[in-house]
Amino acid sequence: MRWKPGGVSDDVEDRRDEGGGGGGRGLQVGLGGGLVLLVLSIVFKTDLFALLGAEPAGSPPGPVAAEGAPPRPPSPIEDQRVQFVSFGLDDLQATWEKEFAAAGRAYSHAKLVLFRDETRSACGGAEASTGPFYCPGDGKVYVDLGFYDDLRDRFGAPGEFAQAYVIAHEVGHHVQTLLGVEGKVRRMQAESPERRNALSVALELQADCLAGVWAHSTGQRQILEKGDVESGIGAAAAVGDDRLQRLAQARVSPETWTHGSSAQRVHWFRRGLESGRVADCDTFRAAH
C-alpha cells in the first residue's frame, strides 16, 4: 500500500507496557498436532482442543513475566507496524464516516487497543491466543501485533494489505454494531440456538464484505499497489474454517463453522471490493 509513516492515531490505545510485558506469546507448547491446534485456535477464535476432542497433553505453561520486570522495548519492526495500523485505522474510519454521512447517519469511531500477551476488555480477558477481535461492549478492536507474524509465517498470508484486512474486518464488526446488526444477531442466536453457528458465519462474512467495501475505496483513491488485492484475498482464504480444520488434520465439518469457508470468505471480500456498496453485503439474505 502507498502510505507514509505519520505517527500514532488518536484512536489507538497503546497498552503494550501493561500485562505480561516480559513474557513471550506462549505459542511454543506441546508437540506436533498440539502446536498446530493451538496456533489455529488463535485465528479460529475457537477452542479447537475442545472442538476436536483433543487434549494439549504435556504442554508446559507459557512463560510468565517476573513481577516488576521492565516492559519489553518496542522493536523497529513493531514501531513500523504501529504506524501502519494507525494509518489503516484512520483511513478506515474516514471511509466509514463518509459512508454513514451519505446515509444520513453519524459514525462513532472505534478504538484500537494494542497489547502484549494479555489485557482486559468489556467482553472479558483478552489474550494473544484469542487473536484479533472486536468487543461490542466497549467499541474497541484488540490486537497483539505479534499476530501478524503468525499470519505471515504460519498461514502464508504476508504483506501489508493482509495486515490491513485484519483491521478492516474487525472494524467491520464495529460498523455492524453501530447499524444494530450485531445486537440483532445475538438476539436471534438466543432465540434459535440451533442456528447459532449459521448466524455467526453470516455475521463474519458480512464483516469480510465490509472490509472489501473499504478496499474498494482504497483502489479508487489509488493507494493500492500491485499485489495488494491478492494479499487481502490470501488473508481471507487463510482463515477459512475448512482450511483451518484441514491444517488441524481434522474432518471438515461445516456444521461447526463460525466464520465460513475460505471460498465463502474470499467471495464476500471480493463482492465488497468489486461493488463498494454496503447494500451488496447482505450475507443473511444470501444464507436463506
| Cβ-count burial 228-266 (b if 16+ within 10 Å, e if not) | bbebbbbbbbbbbbbbbbebbebeeeeeebbbbbbebbb
Residue 145: predicted pLDDT: 82
Mean pLDDT of the chain: 78
Give the tens place of pLDDT for each residue, 216-235: 998 888 877 777 777 777 77
Least confident of 9-23, 30-44, 123-137, 213-227: 30-44
Residue position matching grid coordinates 484486512: 165
Q: What is the largest CA-CA distance in the chain?
A: 56
Higher pLDDT, 197 or 20: 197
pLDDT tens column, 50-73: 443 443 333 333 333 444 445 556
Q: State pLDDT tens for residues 169-181.
A: 999 999 999 999 9
- pLDDT higher at 270 or 153: 270
Instruction: pLDDT band for 17, please (50, 70, 90 cuts).
Output: confident
Which residues, in sequence order, are CB contacts of 2 under 8 Å at separation 6+?
222, 223, 224, 225
Cα–Cα distance measured from residue 287 to residue 260, given in angstroms and rounded to the nearest whole number: 11
Location of C-alpha cell 464495529: 174
pTM of the model: 0.77
Side chain identity, residue 184: K
Of the listed ranges 97-106, 117-126, 156-165, 267-276, the least confidently predicted one is: 156-165
pLDDT for the residue numbered 58: 38
Residue predicted with more confidence, 166 or 227: 166
The contacts of residue 74 (CB under 8 Å, 6+ apart) are 16, 82
In this predicted structure, what is the pLDDT of residue 10? 93
